[in-house]
Structure 1
């Protein structure tokens, strides 16, 4: 029995679906990384805001305890509620800004992936 040590005419070539599947997995991992970064940005912003609000709550309690008059307590609560309303409105603006920025980044990433896929498909069609 004779064996041919040279390359066979029917040598196995990588399947196009395997290559495309690999690219799909890499693209999916990239989108997951973007989603993780987005989630972490939201959490950092949320925790920073909650820290600030908790500090303001402690300050309000201290001001209520040190104030001796009913009018002082009313002023303390009034100031606290005005500041809280303002803080929550500003935080909503920050979250909207983060959301807009993340949507732009994800759209840019998806566009690049689509362009790369189109180029790969064109190259494989020519070859």
Structure 2
């Protein structure tokens, strides 16, 4: 899914059910491209999409902070916590750590939910 332009992101939200899945810090030397076709530099969001009329038209896409902020605004969805696979247990629980919006709030995790979230994020990175 291409999302370089604001108008295309608006159309995407109108045509598809778009859901944020993860907010992930890039690993050193990891290379990924966003839905704008640009190389991601530091962190990215992963979104899933399903066409509203044709459920067989679905998938995932990655985007950088600028596009993700716009998608989250269009979806009226709050930021997801930044997952850094190389950080210690304490740091990976902070919300917005250098992320979209810049707020630094602490999220209290149920241990099982935290483990599931970390597993999903690791699968996305892989």
Q: Which has the higher contact order (CA 8 A, sep 6+)?
A: 1
The normalised TM-score by structure 1 is 0.21
Rg larger in 1 or in 2?
Answer: 1
| Higher helix content, 1 or 2 | 1
The normalised TM-score by structure 2 is 0.21
| Higher strand content, 1 or 2 | 2
